[in-house]
């Protein structure tokens, strides 16, 4: 809203200094500061409110050190992240931008699913929370919305260069690079030289009209990515500061990709796909990072509040949609490796336990406990050390991801 106000002040009233709101970098910095202030200053009030409502975490007995001290800690702290993200976004972004609208819908959609899950756990005293099938239906529903919008909406395009001869004085032909915007299901493959893959090509062996049926491949891929990343973030949220810290690092790296992809000069210089209007997402990312860092003020060990599924599902959904929007979804296994490691540890543990129980009559385990961070807790590592080391790994992987801009 402030963007439109300052646009009016600049272009209609010509007030000096108001044109600064046209710059994405300025609005991103302002969004970061504002979200950080909201999450730190008003976060305490939200925590107090949750505590007064007796929104406390019921801790299962897992035999982990320091576990009993966490009983009664307020949960649903993801509300802090959502509020601190959306307020700067509404104030500082172009609200008619399709990418911003998608991210707002994602935040509210996944936040609602997580809130219902936390509500059932706390007020209905059902530790299982929302049944898994309903969570999956919600994630699939969001995937359908995001996939359909990104595929069918006319405002979602990429720009590539084409060569056309231009005649001067009817004697000299000069080849010029003319930008062409078009719909595309092309994505980026990291660490490869010819690093673009068109999902539509998967259907090429089956039909000559494969371009018109590309949505049959693209939308299911979007659904899978959103479901996988949101569940990975949910599993990572198990010890103080782990999910918020690793997510902030990953989102910051995605912010660099987003800014470059939305800037025609930088994308041309680095020879990456230019995505018109995507640069506006940089402001959302700045607000989101500020909210996550501000939340860490209260969520770092010993935590004053837990994010709950309200926060973790929302974080995973936002990261997935951001990566898909800037065509960097194939980089997620590197950028969000912690999420995938946590998910893989659970899948391996459950699968191996069931297999050995069926074959030997006794279930055996690969890890002392899953998800992965609990395995290290069982080995005697303090949770602060586990979190710090996971942060370091995420930083290293974020750097590796950014290096792919030039290393192919």
Write out pLDDT tens, residues 62-100: 656 656 667 778 888 999 999 999 999 999 999 999 999
For residue 5, how far is the Cα from the chain centroid?
A: 29
| CA 15 to each of CA 1, 8, 11, 19, 312: distance values in angstroms, whole numbers, following the listed order | 18, 9, 8, 8, 43
For the whole model, what pTM was predicted?
0.92
What pLDDT is attached to residue 4? Answer: 87
Q: 9-31 burial, b if ≥16 CB within 10 A, otherwise e?
A: bbeeeeeeebeebeebeebbebb
Mean pLDDT, residues 317-331 taken together: 96
What average pLDDT does this structure show over 117-122? 90
Confidence of residue 10 (pLDDT cuts 50, 70, 90): confident
pLDDT of 111 reads 96
Mean pLDDT in residue range 206-220: 90
pLDDT at 210 over 90: no
Pair 44, 26: CB distance under 8 Å: no
% pLDDT > 90, the chain: 67
Average pLDDT over residues 26-47: 95
- Mean pLDDT value of segment 29-55: 91
Asked whether the beta carbons of 244 and 301 are under 8 A apart, the reply is no
Identify which of 33-37, 72-76, 172-176, 363-367 has the greatest average pLDDT: 33-37
Q: Which tens digits make up the pLDDT trace of 333-360?
A: 999 999 999 999 999 999 999 999 999 8
pLDDT (average), residues 236-244: 92
Amino acid 61: pLDDT: 57
- 60-64, 261-265, 362-366: segment of lowest average pLDDT: 60-64
- Write the CB contacts of 230 (distance below 8 Å, at least 6 apart in sequence): 110, 139, 312, 313, 315, 316, 317, 320
Higher local confidence (pLDDT), 346 or 18? 346
Mean pLDDT on 139-157: 95
Q: Which residues contact 212 (CB under 8 A, 6 or more apart)?
A: none
pLDDT (0 to 100) of residue 7? 85
**Residue 194's pLDDT is what?**
78
Instruction: Tell me the residue length of the chain.
Output: 408
> What pLDDT, on a 0 to 100 scale, did the predictor assign at position 65?
61
User: Residues 309-332: what's their mean pLDDT?
Assistant: 96
Mean pLDDT is lowest, of 67-71, 150-154, 171-175, 245-249, for: 171-175
Q: For all residues of the chain together, what is the average pLDDT?
A: 89
Residue 165 has pLDDT above 70, yes or no: no
């Amino acid at each position: 809203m402030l963007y439109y106000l300052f646009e009016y002040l600049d272009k209609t009233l010509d007030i000096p200094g108001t044109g600064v709101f046209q710059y994405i970098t300025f609005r991103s910095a302002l969004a970061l500061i504002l979200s950080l202030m909201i999450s730190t200053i008003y976060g305490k009030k939200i925590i107090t409110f949750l505590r007064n409502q007796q929104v406390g975490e019921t801790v299962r007995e897992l035999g982990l050190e320091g576990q009993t001290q966490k009983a009664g800690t307020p949960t649903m702290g993801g509300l802090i992240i959502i509020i601190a993200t959306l307020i700067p976004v509404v104030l500082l972004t172009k609200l008619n931008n399709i990418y911003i609208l998608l991210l707002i819908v994602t935040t509210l959609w996944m936040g609602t699913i997580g809130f219902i899950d936390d509500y059932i756990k706390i007020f209905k005293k059902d530790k299982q929370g929302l049944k898994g099938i309903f969570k999956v239906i919600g994630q699939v529903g969001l995937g359908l919305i995001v996939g359909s919008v990104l595929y069918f909406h006319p405002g979602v395009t990429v720009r590539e260069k084409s060569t056309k001869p231009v005649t001067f004085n009817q004697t000299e032909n000069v080849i010029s690079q003319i930008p062409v915007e078009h719909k595309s299901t092309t994505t980026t493959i990291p660490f490869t030289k010819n690093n673009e893959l068109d999902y539509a090509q998967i259907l090429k062996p089956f039909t000559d009209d494969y371009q018109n049926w590309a949505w049959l491949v693209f939308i299911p891929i979007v659904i899978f990515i959103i479901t996988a990343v949101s569940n990975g973030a949910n599993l990572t949220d198990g010890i103080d500061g782990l999910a918020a810290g690793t997510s902030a690092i990953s989102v910051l790296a995605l912010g660099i990709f987003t800014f470059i992809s939305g800037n025609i000069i930088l994308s041309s210089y680095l020879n990456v796909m230019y995505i018109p209007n995507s640069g506006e997402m940089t402001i959302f990312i700045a607000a989101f990072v500020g909210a996550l860092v501000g939340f860490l003020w209260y969520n770092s060990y010993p935590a004053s509040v837990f994010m709950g599924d309200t926060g973790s599902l929302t974080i995973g959904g936002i990261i997935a949609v951001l990566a898909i929007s800037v065509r960097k979804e194939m980089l997620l296994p590197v950028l969000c490796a912690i999420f995938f490691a946590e998910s893989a540890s659970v899948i391996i543990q459950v699968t191996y336990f069931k297999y050995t129980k069926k074959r030997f009559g006794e279930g055996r385990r690969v890890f002392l406990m899953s998800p992965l961070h609990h395995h290290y807790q069982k080995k005697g590592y303090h949770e602060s050390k586990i979190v710090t080391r996971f942060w370091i790994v995420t930083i290293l992987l974020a750097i590796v991801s950014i290096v792919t801009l030039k290393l192919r």
